Amino acid sequence: MSKNQGYIFKYNEDERVIFRLSGTGSSGATIRIYLERRSDDTSIKVEDALKEMSDNALMLSQINELSGRDRPTVIT
């Protein structure tokens, strides 16, 4: 565990959402959101598997309203 590395929300043993800042200063920092879900189903698309988690994370964090953005600039 590292201090000040962001916020981790565990929904159950197999799902978590991580919010953290990336950048060296207070100006131009990037908010990174990591969505993680363990599944043995190899037939499901990643976007479909994470859709509900993504929607919940965006709603709870109000990141769209606070940032003024309606979509991410980068998805990896």
pLDDT digit string, tens, across residues 19-75: 988 876 556 678 889 999 998 999 999 999 999 999 999 999 998 898 888 888 777
DSSP symbols for 9-66:
EEEETTEEEEEEEESSSSSS-EEEEEEEE----TTS-HHHHHHHHHHHHHHHHTHHHH
pLDDT at position 29, please?
73
The verdict on residue 46 lying in a domain is yes
The verdict on residue 1 lying in a domain is no
The verdict on residue 75 lying in a domain is no
Q: 14-35: per-residue pLDDT in tens?
A: 999 999 888 765 566 788 899 9
pLDDT at position 24, please?
61
Tally the domains of the chain: 1
Report how far apart, in Å, the C-alpha atoms of 17 and of each of 25, 37, 39, 51 are.
24, 9, 15, 12
The verdict on residue 36 lying in a domain is yes
Stated pTM of the model:
0.76
Evaluate whether 38 touches 46 at the Cβ level (below 8 Å): no
Arithmetic mean of pLDDT over the chain: 85
The verdict on residue 74 lying in a domain is no
The verdict on residue 72 lying in a domain is no
Domain that holds residue 35: 7-67
